[in-house]
């Protein structure tokens, strides 16, 4: 089971190459492919990134929807058709395509944020802003999580 934790800021070179954090690469060491699948979070200003094997599991969930349903068609267009598999070079870097860098507003630095079974890639300033907003919901979110545990 893949678990991406913590956050890291790495430099993005002029070609769009960025080193994936070593702990994230370590989580993927036993996967069938050493590939990261990346796509833009629609209208959110960051990128989703999955190990190839975990992305396939995620795609299977989309495929369980009725083939001609509006929901499946939308998810296929916004996620599956937009997803870009990117492999690692010899230095543990991936090449983020220019359109994805632009969509996420990433220039010079990228923040990798572990999200459990996937990670996200952000412009560091955008991440800080979003994190500050998230803290305002922390107590409510913990209450929701606690309710899911069925704690007596």
Digit-coded pLDDT (tens) for 95-131: 999 999 999 999 999 999 999 999 999 999 999 999 9
Q: pTM to 2 decimals?
A: 0.92
What pLDDT does 91 receive?
A: 96
What pLDDT does 21 receive?
A: 98
C-alpha 102 chain-centroid distance: 16
**Mean pLDDT of all residues in 62-85:** 96
Q: Which numeric CATH code is attached to 7-124?
A: 3.40.1550.20
Position 150 confidence tier, pLDDT thresholds 50, 70, 90 = low
Report whether pLDDT(87) > 90. Answer: yes
Position 148 confidence tier, pLDDT thresholds 50, 70, 90 = confident
What pLDDT does 93 receive?
A: 98
Q: Which helix (H) or strand (E) holds 119?
A: strand 119-122
Both ends of the chain: CA-CA distance in Å? Answer: 28
C-alpha 26 chain-centroid distance: 16
Nearest in space to 18 (alpha carbons), one of 4, 6, 8, 32: 8
Residue spans of the domains in the chain: they are 7-124
State the average pLDDT for the chain: 95
In this predicted model, which residue has the larger pLDDT, 78 or 42? 78
> Could you read off the pLDDT of 33-73 as tens digits, one per residue?
999 999 999 889 999 999 999 999 999 999 999 999 999 99
What pLDDT does 149 receive?
A: 80
Report whether pLDDT(81) > 90. Answer: yes
Nearest in space to 131 (alpha carbons), one of 147, 115, 145, 149: 115
């Amino acid at each position: 089971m893949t678990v991406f934790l913590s956050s890291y800021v790495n430099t993005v070179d002029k070609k769009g190459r960025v080193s994936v954090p070593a702990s994230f690469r370590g989580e993927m060491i036993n996967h069938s492919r050493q590939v990261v699948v990346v796509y833009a979070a629609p209208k959110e200003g960051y990128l989703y990134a999955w190990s190839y094997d975990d992305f396939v599991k995620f795609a299977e969930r989309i495929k369980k929807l009725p083939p001609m349903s509006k929901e499946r068609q939308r998810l296929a267009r916004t996620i599956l058709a937009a997803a870009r598999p990117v492999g690692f070079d010899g230095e543990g870097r991936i090449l983020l395509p220019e359109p994805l860098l632009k969509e996420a507003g990433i220039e010079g630095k990228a923040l990798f944020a572990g999200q459990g079974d996937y990670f996200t890639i952000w412009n560091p300033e955008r991440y800080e802003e979003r994190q500050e907003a998230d803290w305002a919901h922390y107590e409510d979110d913990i209450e929701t999580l606690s309710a899911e545990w069925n704690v007596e």
